[in-house]
Amino acid sequence: MLKILGKLTCLAIVASFAISSTNYAVAAKKPFGEWLIDLKAEARANGISQPIIDDAFKNVKFKEKIISLDRKQPEVTQTFQQYMSKRLPKSLINQGKARLQKHAAILKEVEKKYGVQPRFVVALWGVETRFGKYTGGFNVVEALTTLAYDNRRADYFRKELMIALQILEEKHITVGNMKGSWAGAMGQAQFMPSSFINFAVDHDEDGRRDIWTTKPDVFASAANYLAQSGWKGDQTWGREVKLNEGFDLSLISLKIQKPMQEWQDLGVRKTDGSALPARQLVGSLVQPKGGAGQTFLIYNNYRTILKWNYSTYFAMSVGQLADRLVSP
């Protein structure tokens, strides 16, 4: 009897969880339509003009699909190597090399102004959107409105939405062309609206900061983001290394930073077993999860990439793609 009761209770818990996790909007204060009226009033109070509000919200609906994407947990079934070879196929590397050549002049200009090497700008562009090919087909206002109505991070997305409206008000892009990811990351550099306001730049000086269709603006905006986040233009991101036998594994941590010479003395080597370069750099050791013990010595610029997206796999993808773009 007890056993059965236990089972029933379990089932009841599972059932109620299933209901509460699919019926996302239940706890919202008002029905969507009424809530939207208040939201528009807030936008007007924030100085957004009526024609922009009318245009921006013309066809906006609450999209369940966006909420289910928000709830979807990424599966971690791949090893680090599998992830890397899937994320950085030969085709992407070749396309990147071609882009690096094709846009060499403008990338050079951007490097001069922001101090970010072309290979890193192109690598970020490639990892984020496959060089502008996949920018996400979502209407940014609709995506942010849906996420602002939802309860999980309502305040955050409401702020981002208000900034998106400001971007429309300033005519950097039209409503129809303001496309992005389901989470509101916009254009070829996948900037959230708040990043756009802080870091996007009008490199071609046509009066619009256009990270959707103007490549000079895309490159300069990405470089400006990195520059403002502490990028060092005379350094790389890191390198794969080998640890000598008996190496103290407790030293593998982003929290532990040591000069190159000290790592050398402790038994860190290049993957071919030779000595580390004699540079005055400070680094930390990283072992990506699921990576079969592969170890990387990372420098300041790796930490800067983490400010763009706090993910080991993301930062490793950008760093390794940048390296491959300039290797034969």
Q: Which is nearer to Ca ion, 142 or 217 (CB)?
A: 217
Nearest to 122 by CA among 95, 153, 88: 95
DSSP per-residue codes, 92-134? HHHHHHHHHHHTHHHHHHHHHHH---HHHHHHHHHHHHTTTT-
- Residue list 252-281, contact with Ca ion (CB under 5 A): none
In this chain, which residue has its C-beta nearest to Ca ion?
A: 202
DSSP per-residue codes, 263-284? HHHHTEEETTSPPPP----EEE
Distance CA 9, CA 15 (A): 10
Query: Exactly one of 208, 215, 303, 324 binds Ca ion (CB under 5 A); which one?
Result: 208
* 128 Rama sector, left if φ>0, alpha if ψ -120 to 50, beta otherwise: alpha
Nearest-10 crossing angle of helices 140-149, 64-71: 70
Is 170 one of the binding residues for Ca ion (CB under 5 A)?
A: no
Is 202 one of the binding residues for Ca ion (CB under 5 A)?
A: yes
CB of 207 to Ca ion, least distance (A): 7
Query: Exactly one of 34, 64, 206, 262 binds Ca ion (CB under 5 A); which one?
Result: 206
Is 169 one of the binding residues for Ca ion (CB under 5 A)?
A: no
Alpha carbon distance, N-terminus to C-terminus of the chain: 71
CB of 208 to Ca ion, least distance (A): 5
CB of 209 to Ca ion, least distance (A): 6
CB of 96 to Ca ion, least distance (A): 23
- Residue list 210-229, contact with Ca ion (CB under 5 A): 210, 214, 217
Query: Exactly one of 70, 169, 204, 240 binds Ca ion (CB under 5 A); which one?
Result: 204
Q: Are 165 and 56 in contact (CB under 8 A)?
A: yes
Indicate the length of the chain as a whole number.
Answer: 328
CB of 202 to Ca ion, least distance (A): 4
Q: Give the interface with Ca ion as residue ranges (CB under 5 A).
A: 202, 204, 206, 208, 210, 214, 217
